[in-house]
């Protein structure tokens, strides 16, 4: 274990602050950073990004647990789908070529950017919450009372569709370390008709537990391979883990002082740029490889 990656400690604080303030998964920032800036192998970058994310989400999970806004019954129902899907994704990630994983990550960044650029305004969320409350049945299936004494009642809709979407998101979480949180937000609020406060808290609960299980799968793979990969992961995590724990606390403060819409728009533009870089580098490298193969073939024919 060495201190080659000491600079990741302050960087992790900044990333976790922005991630928690914007509501995006931390690995969405870390994995491209590890690939593009640190030049880590794709599978190491994905696994380390996911492990780092677990520490950041654990801090947010504790905060929402204290607020009493997590719907554990709904969370348990969706975890029964997300956990095996994430394990499957982790296993598939080992079989899929690194370039294919990188391409999936690049495309995923564009999808996430699109979700941020098209995210509803705060006023729209308030109207959606009001509509949910108005159209709920007279005998709602679920009632949650927060630590502040506020009682929220609702009936969860579209459960089958939700299981499908959560399964897809968890599969990508296991393979490329991101995707579940974004699908959660869309499904729980707009399709499941869960009030936004409960939806956000329950989404954090689902992502935190699923990411934990998926990261254990990656750790097991690193332990099996041993050697340089495992050492690199440990050298990074000793700095990224405390960084995200600190940054997660700052994130809640930043979220109340910066325009959420401005932050989301900025994240959307950032992910488009990073996605272009990831896919552009991949295309450039594959072009060089293809040209090399053509030249080799031409030389062989000439000989």
Domain boundary assignment for the chain: 8-293
Note whether 15 and 55 are within 8 A (CB): no
Higher pLDDT, 24 or 209: 209
Residue 243 scores a pLDDT above 50: yes
What digits encode the pLDDT tens for the residues 154-171? 777 777 877 888 888 888
The reported pLDDT for the residue numbered 240 is 93
Return d(Cα 76, Cα 39) in angstroms, integer. 38
Query: How buried is residue 234: exposed, middle or buried, by Cβ count under 10 Å (0-12/13-18/19+)?
Result: middle
Segment 42-62 shows an average pLDDT of 85
pLDDT at 22: 67
Find tokens 């554990």 and name the residue: 72
Q: Residue 60 and residue 125: Cα distance in Å, rounded?
A: 21
Q: Over the chain, what is the mean pLDDT?
A: 78
Q: How many other β-carbons are positioned within 10 Å of the β-carbon of residue 233?
A: 21
Predicted confidence band of residue 295 (pLDDT cuts 50, 70, 90) = low
Q: What is the rounded average pLDDT of the residues 121-149?
A: 63
The angle subtended at Cα 202 by Cα 81 and Cα 176, nearest 5°, is 55
The token pair at 70 is 């997590």
Residue 300 CA, chain-centre distance (Å), reads 47
Q: How far apart are CA 50 and CA 9, in angstroms?
A: 16
More reliable by pLDDT, 288 or 85: 85
The model's pLDDT over 123-134, given as tens digits with 9 standing for 90+, comes to 555 555 566 555
Supply the pTM of this predicted model.
0.77
pLDDT at position 139, please? 57
């Amino acid at each position: 274990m060495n201190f080659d990656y000491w600079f990741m400690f302050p960087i992790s604080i900044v990333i976790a602050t922005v991630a928690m303030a914007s509501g995006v998964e931390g690995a969405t920032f870390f994995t491209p950073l590890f690939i593009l800036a640190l030049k880590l192998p794709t599978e190491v970058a994905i696994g380390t990004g996911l492990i780092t994310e677990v520490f950041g989400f654990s801090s947010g999970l504790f905060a929402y647990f204290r607020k009493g806004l997590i719907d554990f019954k709904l969370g348990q129902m969706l975890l029964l789908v997300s956990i095996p899907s994430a394990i499957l994704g982790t296993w598939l990630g080992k079989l899929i070529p690194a370039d294919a994983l990188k391409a999936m990550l690049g495309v995923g960044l564009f999808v996430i950017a699109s979700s941020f650029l098209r995210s509803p305004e705060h006023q729209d969320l308030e109207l959606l919450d009001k509509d949910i409350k108005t159209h709920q049945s007279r005998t709602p299936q679920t009632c949650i009372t927060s630590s502040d004494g506020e009682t929220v009642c609702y009936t969860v809709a579209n459960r089958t569709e939700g299981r499908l979407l959560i399964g897809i998101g968890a599969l990508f979480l296991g393979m490329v370390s991101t995707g579940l949180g974004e699908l959660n937000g869309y499904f729980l609020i707009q399709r499941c008709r869960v009030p936004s406060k409960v939806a956000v808290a329950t989404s954090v609960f689902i992502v935190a537990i699923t990411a934990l299980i998926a990261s254990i799968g990656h750790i097991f793979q690193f332990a099996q391979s041993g050697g340089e990969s495992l050492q690199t992961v440990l050298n990074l995590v000793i700095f990224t883990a405390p960084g995200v724990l600190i940054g997660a606390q700052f994130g809640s403060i930043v979220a109340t002082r910066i325009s959420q819409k401005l932050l989301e728009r900025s994240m959307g533009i950032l992910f488009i740029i990073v996605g272009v870089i990831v896919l552009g580098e991949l295309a450039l490298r594959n072009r060089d490889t293809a040209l090399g193969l053509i030249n080799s073939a031409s030389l062989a024919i000439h000989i």
